[in-house]
Amino acid sequence: MKIGVIGTGLMGLPIALKILEMGFKVIVYNRTTSKVEPLREAGATVAGTPQGLITASDCILLMLTNQEAIESVLFRSEFQSILSGKTIISMGTISPTESKNIQKEIIKAGGNYLEAPVLGSIPEAKSGKLQIMVGSTEAQFKQWFHVLQPLGEPKYIGEVGSASALKLALNQLIASLTTAFALSLNFVQGQGVDIELFMEILRKSALYAPTFDKKLQRMLEENYQNPNFPTKHLLKDTNLFLQEAKSMGLNVSSLEGVRAILEATQKLGKLDDDYSALFTTLKP
């Protein structure tokens, strides 16, 4: 079986390497060609075009940033005929509405579609410990389980749209929890409270989340380089959540405040930095 991977950035690269490691024949494509060189060296075939990759692959994993990127790859008029009989698995974070629209277009072209967004970052992708949320039919989940399993723990969520919704709900928590922690940390720091005492009490309470310790040192050092998840992607996911939640009539005023902080972080030039950079945005 030949597995294609389109998008070999921060997450796509370790995912493709892991699949290659498990003995699958892997074909890769990335718009920035330098990003596929580690995969070429590891034994993957590098496709010159998305069209070439789709034609040569049985199943195509997409690790692309957004709906626009997916549509630019799949829905050019000359690609419609080659999607017939192919299975597309979208692993990036998009909205439920976007995922359902992509599914309709792929089915119309004679292909099959699953969504499989992941929770976890580069370390989990490298170690095969991602949490993989799958939106599909149960038959599709069983059919492609063996492709996803090397990457972590595939879990069937429901029909297409349900896994995308769950992923956005989790990323909303990333944005909200990190902003709340950064605000409290700034506050106690400004009040002269010992940071380790603050953390000691927090860790023993029901308020604690492990992500606080994961981001603590970055915030204290204001070192946001080499991100596992950059600010621009969290801002994109926050906007997607707001769009869907508003259409449901939910009160999203608290998250709109978080979005404003992420936008301010972007204006500080920290778009490609780790999202914990929002700590600096909160400073006086």
> Any idea which residues carry the catalytic annotation?
167
Q: Nearest to residue 122, comparing CAs of 270, 238, 13, 273?
A: 13
Three-class secondary structure of residue 250 per DSSP: coil
Helices 231-247 and 162-190 pack at an angle, to 10 degrees, of 120
In this structure, the chain runs to a length of: 284
| 43's tokens | 């034994």
E strands present in 184-259: none
What lies within 8 Å, CB to CB, of 126 at 6+ separation is 14, 17, 18
Q: CA–CA separation, 260 vs 152, rounded Å? A: 34
Give dist(CA 46, CA 17) in Å, integer.
Answer: 13
Dihedral of alpha carbons 124, 126, 129, 131, sign: positive
